[in-house]
Chains A and B, each alone.
Chain A
């Protein structure tokens, strides 16, 4: 999981729990997609199989989180559309990049460290979150413990691979760097809404200014056209 949802709330809150579960599902799905891509391009049969197994685990986790969320939604009668899992939203939420997979931008060793570091962070957050469910949803708690075991295994494999491919100093340095970057990535993602306080007034001013221009700028609308191909300007964007 490369962007891990916030889960540090104190009391069991069904709506917030559903929100966090939905975010965990999104993070797992994104991770699966990244792993599947890595399996396709890594060029080493054993590693490819490893990435495939990792992808299968992540897809499975996504379904488990979604099922737990659906149970809570149904039990507590929560009617919020934001709680549905929509793959297309993964881009906007920052879980995956539009123009590249992470594996395309990192060397294999760095990718392994990246996975290991992020799996460890995810594990900690998931432990904190699952403790909230322990009393209210004991079955869900047990299922999450199984996910935790998988995550631990993924982190262990990745970091072992990275340790074997780097000197100890280089490994520790890169791991620390990944954890720091992860911290900043989350800080940035969590404060995106706060930026709007700064930018929105500027945008509203621009919009009001454009509204005056818009009064005069009217693109020609045709209800009918006798010869469409003759009248269209192929190189124009208007």
Chain B
């Protein structure tokens, strides 16, 4: 019997299926539609699951949507309708989209599977975040669960605890519009980046500036009481614009071209100020959570938790014993939390827990071998293709990887990645700007064996767990600068991943690379900017051709693209 969790309609849609007996399948709609951040009802994911698992009413235990649909719609609407004429543009937009939203979840799901109504359950937005976080750990009662995002069901910050009998207690909540997430998104919009996509660019940009606007931002957002001054915003009035003229009076002209030096410097200062306000706010929120719960271990979820620079800086304040940010803390990962809700709701005294972050389908589960052979030729000469791969990497090749199960979350952790030798400056630069077409101010991330980590990096013990899925930054030591300077961000940090699992192919490649004199690989996700990560073998081929990458490591060998 399967439990299914679904997150959709507002951020990137995802589905998670589990039988709690080793079968797990996490999917994102963007993998099938090839539209990055696809937020539509994940009908293509569900069709895939129906086909692969023969899903029907009889073998489905429960399907859980990650939030309460009407509450989610109404809480935003009811705030704006207090001034109906002033906020009419937003309200019209909201009303027009009524039938496209999650309120029709049951209808949408029933078009695909005829499932009985009592099997459809609805979790709560922040509770789903919290339950995703709890699925990663064993001692659930040791932690306090903090969620912070833009908004979900009218909530913007929540604090939960769970005891050993699985009793979940909500100990504090903050409400819309008082949202640090929405402030950060508004700054993202102001700087010309896309909301829900460009926040990580703001984070990277912030390292180039100084927080000279911190006092102005503190006027806009009270970091102690977590309240916002809505005069600076328009997200409740206008669906296409998040900030008001008053914010422009503070920061000047929006949407400037940052390739010009003066604009870049100014926008970096704004980004730096927003980053500082975010960090101060989260510092206060975490302290509040610790004070209210009496627990010093924290699970942080919600879209805000994707800000790995914040995690790193919070760790330096020594306010918590441990902080874990799951690999997919945003809404996409909430599909797993929703599944956990369904499971707990049925069992009353059990929760799902996973000992891996690779909850996606195996590549061989997605593809037929004969299709692969139409597009690729196996080129490894021996069975030790990890060694052959390392040899190519040392020679300066950029190599894609496509093996094992898919990752959960926005960061590729080796199984669906692009690698190059981090000691080769030219190759790293080529990979970043020409192959991946990223912004020049965004550094690439390194991956290395756990045993080598301390040689090159330092990090507070309290956040070390997050290194397994690139969930935090760490500081570069002097030893890193000479040989691996191209992976260090301007502020001396790196978004490092450590590899512990000796069975993983990434581990084997790194071991072999070490023999050739390099300890670190660059690991970036297998996609081009504005495209989702590859999913099936067709995507692999098309993306390799687009990026002009010749080689790809798969489960059983090293392959080269054919010409078609």
Contacts and interface: CB of A to CB of B under 8 A. Distances in A.
A223 B256 contact: no
B173 A222 contact: yes
Interface stretch (A111-119, A156-164, A168-176, A203-211): A203-211
A77 B256 CA distance: 8
B92 interface: yes
Contact of B255 (A80, A88, A225): A80
A220 to B, nearest CB: 10
A70 to B, nearest CB: 9
A36 B170 contact: no
**From DSSP, what is the main secondary structure of chain B's interface residues?**
mixed
A223 B173 contact: yes
B35 A33 contact: yes
Contacts of A77: 257
Nearest to B118: A235
B542 A55 contact: yes
A234 B122 contact: yes
Given A81-B192, A88-B39, A224 B542 contact: no
Given A52-B541, A56-B542, A236 B84 contact: no
B124 interface: yes
A224 B170 contact: yes
Contacts of A85: 530
Contacts of A96: 33, 35
A105 interface: no
B70 interface: yes
Contacts, number: 159
B71 interface: yes
B378 interface: no
B368 to A, nearest CB: 11
Nearest to A82: B240
Given A84-B194, A232-B127, A207 B91 contact: yes
A207 B96 CA distance: 11
A98 B40 contact: yes
B536 to A, nearest CB: 7
A93 to B, nearest CB: 12
Nearest to A223: B173
A237 B166 contact: no
A229 B344 contact: yes
Contact of B170 (A204, A219, A225, A234): A225
A103 interface: no
A132 B440 CA distance: 32
B68 interface: yes
Contacts of B74: 217, 219, 238
A39 B167 CA distance: 50
B545 A56 contact: yes
A194 interface: no
B177 interface: no
Interface string B22-58: 0000000000011111111101000000000000000
Given A81-B192, A223-B173, A238 B40 contact: no
Interface in A122-136: none
Given A98-B40, A234-B345, A235-B122, A91 B103 contact: no
A74 interface: yes
Interface string B399-438: 0000000000000000000000000000000000000000
Contacts of A211: 81-82, 84
Interface string A60-76: 10000000000001100
B340 to A, nearest CB: 11
A60 B77 CA distance: 42
A102 to B, nearest CB: 13
Nearest to B370: A45
Contacts of A214: 77-78, 81-82
A226 B172 CA distance: 11
B92 A33 contact: no
A229 B168 contact: yes
A88 B35 contact: yes
Nearest to B111: A99
Interface of B: 33-41, 43, 68-71, 74-75, 77-78, 81-82, 84-85, 88, 91-92, 95-96, 103, 105, 117-118, 120-124, 127, 154, 160, 166-173, 175, 189, 192, 194, 197, 253-257, 259, 344-345, 348, 374, 530-531, 536, 538-539, 541-542, 545-546, 564
9 cross-chain pairs, A with B, having the tightest CB-CB distances, nearest first: A234-B121, A225-B170, A228-B168, A49-B564, A211-B84, A79-B255, A237-B70, A237-B69, A33-B34
